[in-house]
Amino acid sequence: MKTVKNNRTKGQGRSVDPVGENIPMSSPDITDLEREAVAKVMQTSRLSMGPEVAAFEDAVSRYVGVEHAIAVSSGTAGLHLSVLATGITDGDWVITTPFSFVASTNVLLYERAIPIFVDVDPDTGNINTDLMAEAAADLIAGGKKASRWLPRKGAEPSGRLRALLPVDVFGQPADYDPIQAISAEHNLGVIEDSCEALGAQYKGCQTGTLGDIGVFAFYPNKQITTAEGAMVVTDRDDSAELIRALRNQGRAPGDLWLDHTHLGYNYRLDEMSAALGRVQMSRLDELLEKRERVAAWYHARLAEMPGVELLQISPSTSRMSWFVYVVRLDDGVDRKRVVERLDAQGVPTRPYFTPIHLQRYMAERFGYQPGDYPVTEDLSRRSLALPFSGTLSEVQVERVCDCLLQALES
Does position 170 bind ligand PLP by CB under 6 A? no
| Segment interacting with ligand PLP (CB under 6 A) among 69-77, 135-143, 267-275, 390-398 | 69-77
User: Going by C-beta distance under 8 Å and a sequence separation of 6 or more, which residues neighbour residue 136?
Assistant: 95, 161, 164, 182, 185, 186, 188
Interacting residue with ligand PLP among 38, 53, 68, 76 (CB under 6 A): 76
Does position 53 bind ligand PLP by CB under 6 A? no
Q: Measured from the CB of residue 253, what is the shortest distance to ligand PLP in angstroms? A: 26
Listed residue (222, 220, 209, 143) closest to 176, CA to CA: 209
Rg over CA atoms, the chain: 22
Does position 385 bind ligand PLP by CB under 6 A? no
Does position 73 bind ligand PLP by CB under 6 A? no
Interactions with ligand PLP, residue window 225-284 (CB under 6 A): 230
Does position 125 bind ligand PLP by CB under 6 A? no
Q: Report the C-alpha dihedral over residues 386, 388, 391, 392, rounded to 10 degrees.
A: 20
Does position 155 bind ligand PLP by CB under 6 A? no
Task: Find the residue with minimal CB distance to ligand PLP.
Answer: 75
Q: Measured from the CB of residue 123, what is the shortest distance to ligand PLP in angstroms? A: 18
What phi, psi does 236 have (nearest 5°)?
-90, 120
Does position 342 bind ligand PLP by CB under 6 A? no
Q: Measured from the CB of residue 217, what is the shortest distance to ligand PLP in angstroms? A: 4
Distance separating alpha carbons of residues 377 and 226, to the nearest angstrom: 32
Distance separating alpha carbons of residues 121 and 15, to the nearest angstrom: 40
Q: Measured from the CB of residue 76, what is the shortest distance to ligand PLP in angstroms? A: 3
Q: Measured from the CB of residue 75, what is the shortest distance to ligand PLP in angstroms? A: 2
Query: Do residues 157 and 186 make contact, with C-beta atoms less than 8 angstroms apart?
Result: no
Distance separating alpha carbons of residues 259 and 252, to the nearest angstrom: 8
Strand partners, 309: 328
Q: Measured from the CB of residue 173, what is the shortest distance to ligand PLP in angstroms? A: 13
Query: Between residues 100 and 129, which has the closer beta carbon with respect to ligand PLP?
Result: 100
| Segment interacting with ligand PLP (CB under 6 A) among 192-200, 269-277, 358-366, 383-391 | 192-200
Distance separating alpha carbons of residues 124 and 130, to the nearest angstrom: 14
Q: Measured from the CB of residue 216, what is the shortest distance to ligand PLP in angstroms? A: 9
Give the number of residues in contact with ligand PLP, rule: CB under 6 A.
14
Does position 120 bind ligand PLP by CB under 6 A? no
Q: Measured from the CB of residue 193, what is the shortest distance to ligand PLP in angstroms? A: 5
Report in angstroms the alpha-carbon separations of 386 from 52, 120, 134, 324, 328: 34, 22, 35, 8, 11
Distance separating alpha carbons of residues 113 and 233, to the nearest angstrom: 22
Query: Between residues 100 and 391, which has the closer beta carbon with respect to ligand PLP?
Result: 100
How many CA atoms within 13 Å lie on the side-chain side of 89?
Answer: 2
What residues line the site for ligand PLP (CB under 6 A)?
Answer: 74-76, 100-101, 103-104, 167, 193, 195-196, 217, 219, 230
